[in-house]
Amino acid sequence: MARCISNPFYSKASALESLSLSDHEAAWTNFSFIICGVLTGLTVGYFNRGPQHFSMILKAMFVVTSLALVALNILTLAQGRMHKATLYPLLVVFMGLCGASSLGFIGVALSAVVESTYPVAGEYSGFLVEWWLQIFAAVLTQVATLAGAYAFVVCGIATWLTTALMLLLYRQELRKTDPPPAADAEWAPLIN
C-alpha cells in the first residue's frame, strides 16, 4: 500500500496527471509522504509501552491510512474542478498523513510479528513478512499504474479490504512476552 503512493513517478504520471505537477512539486508530495512516515515511526516506537499496545496501534494506523486514501481519492476525482492552489497543499497534507500511517507502523508491525511467531527467530519471521510485503507492493503498484486516473482507487480498495480484515480478525498473541506455562505439552519442548 505504501509503495503504491510513494513511487516518485506515480503521482505525477497517472493519478494526478491533469494537475501538471512540476518535478519540484511532485518531489514535495513524496517528501511529505516519506518524512511523515519516518518521524511517525520514530515517535510511535519511542512512546510505545509494550506489546500489549501493538493491536491498538496497528489498527489505528490502518484506519488513518484508509481515511487518508479516501481523501486522496476525492482529490484525484476533483482535480479538474479545483484550483491547483487549493488542491496541491491538500495533496501534500494527505500524502503526509498517508505516509505517517502506512510507513510509520512498520516498526511496530515487525515487532508484533516477532511477538506472534515466537519461538521462531525474529530474523526469519521479519524477513518473510517484509519479503511478502515487497512482493504484494510490487504487484499492487503495477495494477494501480495500469488503472491510470483510478490508481488511488485501486490502492484505496486494497487498503480498505486490509483494514477491514485487521479490525475484524487481528488479535495480538503475546507468545514472547507472556508465553504459556512450561507444563503445557505443546510448548514444553520449545521452551526448554
pLDDT grade for 9, boundaries at 50, 70 and 90:
very low
Mean pLDDT of the chain, nearest integer: 81
How confident is the model over 120-141, as pLDDT tens digits?
A: 888 888 888 889 888 988 998 8
pLDDT of 110 higher than 50: yes
Q: Domains in the chain, please, with CATH? A: 24-177 (1.20.1250.20)
pLDDT of 184 higher than 80: no
DSSP sequence for 16-65: TGGG---HHHHHHHHHHHHHHHHHHHHHHHHH---GGGHHHHHHHHHHHH
How confident is the model over 163-178, as pLDDT tens digits?
A: 999 999 988 887 777 7
Contacts 24+ apart (CB under 8 A), 43-48: 43/104, 44/104, 44/105, 44/107, 44/108, 45/107, 45/108, 48/108
